[in-house]
Amino acid sequence: MSSERKAVSAKGMTLATILVMAGLVFSRASGFLRDIFVGIKFDDPVFRDGYTLAFNIPDLVYNLLIGGSIQSAITPSLSASIAAGEEERGIRAVSTFISFMSVLMFIACTLATIFSVPLYSFLFNDANPETTYLAGMASKWLFPQIIFMMLAALCIGILNAYKRFGSTAFGPTIYNIFVLLSIIVFAGNSQRQLMNTTLGIMGAALIYFLFQFFVGRDKLSKFKFIWAPGDKDFHALLKRALPILVSASVVQINLYILNAFVVSLPGDGNVYALRNASTTWQLPYGIFAVAIGNVMLPTLAEHYSKKDYKGASELLGNRLRKALFLTIPSAVLMFILNVDVIKAIFQWKSTYTDDDARRAGVLLAGYSIAIVTHTIVFIMNQAFYAIGKTKVPLFAGCVGLITNPVICYLFIPHFGAIALTLAYSFTSILQMLILCYLYARNKELRPHGFFAFFMKEIIIIVLMVVFLGLINLRYHEVTGKMYELLSLATRVAACLTIYFVGALFLRMPEADEWLRVIRSKFAKSK
């Protein structure tokens, strides 16, 4: 590929990444509003925990059966078929895969809906019986929701293979808006209000799917229901997807493990506190790492299918550094300002106390390491999926499934709730080391240029932390929500300015690239 074509391709990927990030920002912001109103409308901790716990098993079923496979199996497989001029063959294989998984999902959701209450009572037998009963009843509308979420996600996976990122960027925001409306209109401290809320959420999932299909109907209309379980291309796709189905669901399984431990802790509100911390740490990870990794996936698959190993190596290294450049300062700020961040986001009513904020803040501090390590895990997983070695992320994920509960069991009696999120972060470190070591064994695909990157990162992070310490010495508690928000925003903005200016001074390409994008946008607006 010529240098001019590389520049055009890089610019296209950067613009696509920014577009996806913008969609994720709106999605995460509306998701935060949703969680804020959960705390306001369900001011009884039992109903609040029941609502939160109700999502646990449906989310696990979704991620285990279809969620993880959509973009990580369908997108690179279809992208490679398109690049090889075999689009029709790829469409047939993907259509058969979708048909097979749809039937499987329908059966699973039907059974889960029928047996939801005993299922929750069995899996969360250490929790408050009233909480598990409410969760089981509320989930009766959340299991059917999975079918619509699956169809929407399948649409996104297909459109991403065609690099139609603009058509997929804002669908999750629409879903979150309708979920928020459902909470505002229906939520309250009764079983009927709780179930009406989850019914409204199922309706939001239906709207999400219909929107996603409408904006991509020109491409999606090519895919039909095909029941051909003997098709060889379907077998190849299924063989590739099965390890992804398990490995991509590891995050959800580990969160389920954390919830299984957190319900055994004394006192009410622990489930919601863990949910607050989980939602918060996934804000920078979900915007930066996920956007960069998802945009990278189809292009990396094309490089590998054309045996352009040098291009694949350069692309992976560039995307990794670009993601880490954004997530490392985010992790540091969330670790130091954990309680301030939680209070700014979730404390909008007196029912959410300072003790609630401190409980969630401690959990967020334990998660902060995972913001960095899971960024690497996610992008390296995408790299393995792109080159077709899907069993490696599965192996790393299985290691995590062993270490996470073991660490929780051993350290909770000694360290309390923070052991939960530290266990998750430590598990993420192990997965990161396994993935990086195994990928780097292939010298042609190994990314380069990380020693200088990390040395410069250490310097500017130290500068940022020292500066934050000096600011915090002058910070005093003053009542008032607006002051609280303004104080946090001022400190974060000042620290990020120091970070970015330091990166420019050290001539970090990642900072230069973002500066060029900002200048380009400013010039166009002028």
User: Do 212 and 171 contact (CB within 8 A), yes or no?
Assistant: yes
| Among candidate residues 402, 422, 448, the one where a domain is terminated | 448
122 — pLDDT class (breaks 50, 70, 90)? confident
Confidence of residue 373 (pLDDT cuts 50, 70, 90): very high
Q: Identify the residue with better confidence: 125 or 399.
A: 399
Same structural domain for residues 359 and 486?
A: no
pLDDT tens digits, 39-81: 778 878 788 888 888 887 887 777 666 655 566 667 777 877 7
Residues 207, 313 share a domain: yes
Angle at 224 between CA 220 and CA 229, to 5 degrees: 130
Residues 495 and 436 reside in one and the same domain: no
Residue 497 binned pLDDT confidence (cut-offs 50, 70, 90): very high
Q: What is the amino acid identity at position 17?
A: T
| Confidence at residue 16, expressed as pLDDT on a 0 to 100 scale | 66
Question: Residue 300: enclosing H or E segment and its boundaries?
Answer: helix 290-305
Cβ atoms of 41 and 33 closer than 8 Å: no
Please say if the pLDDT value at position 263 is more than 80: no
Residues 426, 317, single domain; the answer is yes
pLDDT of residue 321: 93
Q: What are phi and psi of 449, to 5 degrees?
A: 90, 25
Q: Which residue has the tokens 């990162």?
A: 457
Q: Return the H-helix or E-strand segment holding 432.
A: helix 418-440
Q: Examine the pLDDT at 206 and tell me if it is beyond 70.
A: yes
Pair (56, 142) in one structural domain? yes
Q: pLDDT tens digits for 295-313?
A: 888 888 888 888 888 988 9
Q: What contacts 495, CB < 8 A, 6 or more positions away?
A: 329, 333, 464, 467, 468, 471
pLDDT of residue 473: 57
Give the residue carrying structure tokens 């390590």: 373
pLDDT at position 475, please?
Answer: 55
How is residue 486 written in tokens?
């303004």
Tell me how far apart the alpha carbons of residues 66 and 46 are, in angstroms, rounded to a whole number: 31
User: Which uninterrupted H or E stretch holds 365?
Assistant: helix 354-386
**Of the candidate ranges 59-63, 100-104, 485-489, the one whose mean pLDDT is the lowest:** 59-63
**Are 435 and 468 members of one domain?**
no
The rounded distance, in Å, linking the Cα atoms of 205 and 59 is 13
pLDDT tens figures, 175-194: 888 988 888 888 888 888 88
**Helix (H) or strand (E) segment spanning residue 13:** helix 3-41
By the 10 Å C-beta count (0-12 exposed, 13-18 middle, 19+ buried), 15 is classed as: middle
Domain boundary among 400, 415, 448: 448
What pTM does this model have? 0.74
Are residues 165 and 65 both part of a single domain?
A: yes
pLDDT at 297: 80
How many domains in the chain? 2
SS3 labels along 93-150: HHHHHHHHHHHHHHHHHHHHHHCHHHHHHHHCCCCCHHHHHHHHHHHHHHHHHHHHHH
State which of 424, 448, 472 marks the end of a domain.
448
Q: Are 526 and 343 in contact (CB under 8 A)?
A: no
Position 229 pLDDT exceeds 60: yes
Distance CA(491)–CA(288), nearest Å, equals 21
In this model, does residue 474 exceed pLDDT 60? no
Mean predicted lDDT score pLDDT of the chain: 82
More confident residue, 30 or 494: 494
Average pLDDT, integer, range 429-433: 94
Burial 298-326 (b: 16+ CB within 10 A, else e): bbbbbbbbeeebebbbbbbbbbbbbbbbb
Q: Which is more confidently placed, 185 or 234?
A: 185
Lowest mean pLDDT among 250-264, 267-281, 343-357: 250-264
8 or 328: whose pLDDT is higher? 328
CA angle 386, 241, 317 (to 5 degrees): 20
The separation between CA 328 and the C-alpha centre of its own chain, rounded to angstroms, equals 16
Question: Are 476 and 407 members of one domain?
Answer: no
Mean pLDDT of 448-454: 90
Q: Would you say 281 and 369 are in contact if contact means Cβ atoms under 8 Å apart?
A: no
Task: Please check whether residues 62 and 107 belong to one and the same domain.
Answer: yes
Average pLDDT score over residue span 500-518: 84
Question: What six digits make up the tokens of 53?
Answer: 């716990």
pLDDT digits (tens, 9 = 90+) for 7-50: 445 555 666 676 666 666 666 666 667 777 887 788 787 888 88
What is the C-alpha separation between 28 and 19, in angstroms, rounded?
14
Residues 435, 306, single domain; the answer is yes
Q: What is the pLDDT of residue 525?
A: 53
| Res 7: pLDDT | 45
Q: Are 14 and 517 in contact (CB under 8 A)?
A: yes
Here the contacts of 266-270 (C-beta below 8 Å, separation 24 or greater) are 268/45, 268/46, 268/49, 268/128, 269/45, 269/48, 269/49, 269/356, 269/359, 270/49, 270/359, 270/417
The pair of structure tokens assigned to 17 is 């990444």
pLDDT attached to residue 171: 78
CB neighbour list of residue 233: distance below 8 Å, 6 or more residues apart: 89, 90, 92, 93, 96
Q: Which carries the bigger pLDDT value, residue 220 or residue 76?
A: 220
Q: Give residue 178's domain range.
A: 3-448
pLDDT in tens, 351-365: 788 888 888 999 999
The number of beta carbons lying within 10 Å of the beta carbon of residue 420 is: 27
Are residues 432 and 459 both part of a single domain? Answer: no
Residue 517 has pLDDT above 70, yes or no: no
Could you tell me the pLDDT band of residue 434, with boundaries at 50, 70 and 90? very high
Give yes or no for residue 3 having a pLDDT over 50.
no
Same domain, 403 and 466: no
pLDDT above 70 for 4: no
Q: Give the mean pLDDT of 251-258.
A: 74
DSSP assignment of 54-93, as one string?
HTHHHHHHHIIIIIHHIIIIIHHHHHHHHHTT-HHHHHHH
Q: 210 pLDDT exceeds 60?
A: yes
Q: How far is the C-alpha of 322 from the C-alpha of 424, rounded, in Å? A: 24
